[in-house]
Chain A
Amino acid sequence: MAQLDMELTERCNNNCIHCYINLPENDRHALDNELSTDDIKDILKQAEKLGCLAVRFTGGEPLVKKDFKDIYLFARQLGLKVVLFTNASLIDDEMIRLFSHIPPLKEIEITVYGMTQSSYEAVSGVKGSFKKAFEGIRRLNAAKIPFIVKGALLSSGAHEQKAFETFADHIPWMKGKPDNIVLLDLSGRRDLKKNDKIRKLRISPDEHVRRLMNNGKKLIEEGRRFQKTFRVAPDNGDRLFTCGAGKNLCVDAYGNLQACLLLRHPDTVYDLKKGTLKDAFQNFFPELLSKKAENPEFIKRCGKCELRGFCEQCPAKSWMEHGTLDTPVEYYCRMAHAEAEMTGLDKDEIG
Chain B
Amino acid sequence: MNSKINSGSVYVPSDEVVAREIEGELIIVPLTSGVGNMEDELYTLNETGKDIWSRLDGKRNLRSILDQLKTEYDMDSQTIEEDAKGLLEELLIRKMIVEKRSK
Q: Which residues of B contact A81 (CB under 8 A)?
A: 29, 40, 42
Q: How distant is the Cα of A48 from the Cα of B29 in the complex, in angstroms?
A: 12
Q: Which residues of B contact A105 (CB under 8 A)?
A: 29-30, 39-40
How many residues in A have their beta carbons less than 8 Å from beta carbons of B?
A: 16
For residue A301, CB closer than 8 A to chain B, the reply is no
Give chain A interface residues in 215-235, CB to chain B under 8 Å: none
Please, which residue of chain A has its CB at the minimum distance from the CB of B40?
A105
Interface mask (A137-151 → B, CB under 8 Å = 1, otherwise 0): 000000000100000
Please tell me which one of the listed residues A53, A102, A106, A146 contacts residue B31 in the complex, with CB atoms under 8 A apart.
A102
- The dominant DSSP class at the A interface is loop
Q: How distant is the Cα of A105 from the Cα of B33 in the complex, in angstroms?
A: 9
Shortest distance between the CB of B84 and any CB in chain A (Å): 24
For residue B93, CB closer than 8 A to chain A, the reply is no
Shortest distance between the CB of A74 and any CB in chain B (Å): 12
Please, which residue of chain B has its CB at the minimum distance from the CB of A79?
B18
Give chain A interface residues in 45-75, CB to chain B under 8 Å: 48, 51, 53
Give chain B interface residues in 1-58, CB to chain A under 8 Å: 18-20, 22-23, 27, 29-33, 39-40, 42
User: Are the C-beta atoms of B22 and A53 separated by less than 8 Å?
Assistant: yes
Please, which residue of chain B has its CB at the minimum distance from the CB of A52?
B22
Please, which residue of chain A has its CB at the minimum distance from the CB of B16?
A102
Q: How distant is the Cα of A176 from the Cα of B42 in the complex, in angstroms?
A: 24
Q: Which residues of A contact B42 (CB under 8 A)?
A: 53, 81
Please, which residue of chain A has its CB at the minimum distance from the CB of B36?
A105
User: Are the C-beta atoms of B32 and A79 separated by less than 8 Å?
Assistant: no
Shortest distance between the CB of B67 and any CB in chain A (Å): 31
Q: How distant is the Cα of A100 from the Cα of B29 in the complex, in angstroms?
A: 16
User: Are the C-beta atoms of A51 and B22 separated by less than 8 Å?
Assistant: yes
Give chain A interface residues in 89-110, CB to chain B under 8 Å: 100-103, 105-106
Q: Which B residues contact A (CB, under 8 angstroms)?
A: 18-20, 22-23, 27, 29-33, 39-40, 42
Q: Could you show 16 A-B contacts with beta carbons less than 8 Å apart?
A: A51-B22, A51-B23, A76-B18, A77-B18, A79-B18, A79-B29, A81-B29, A81-B40, A101-B33, A102-B32, A102-B33, A103-B30, A103-B33, A105-B30, A105-B39, A105-B40
Could you list 18 further interchain pairs (A-B, Cβ under 8 angstroms) beyond the known A101-B33, A102-B32? Answer: A48-B20, A53-B22, A53-B27, A77-B18, A78-B18, A79-B19, A79-B29, A79-B31, A81-B29, A81-B40, A81-B42, A100-B33, A101-B32, A102-B31, A103-B30, A103-B32, A105-B30, A106-B40
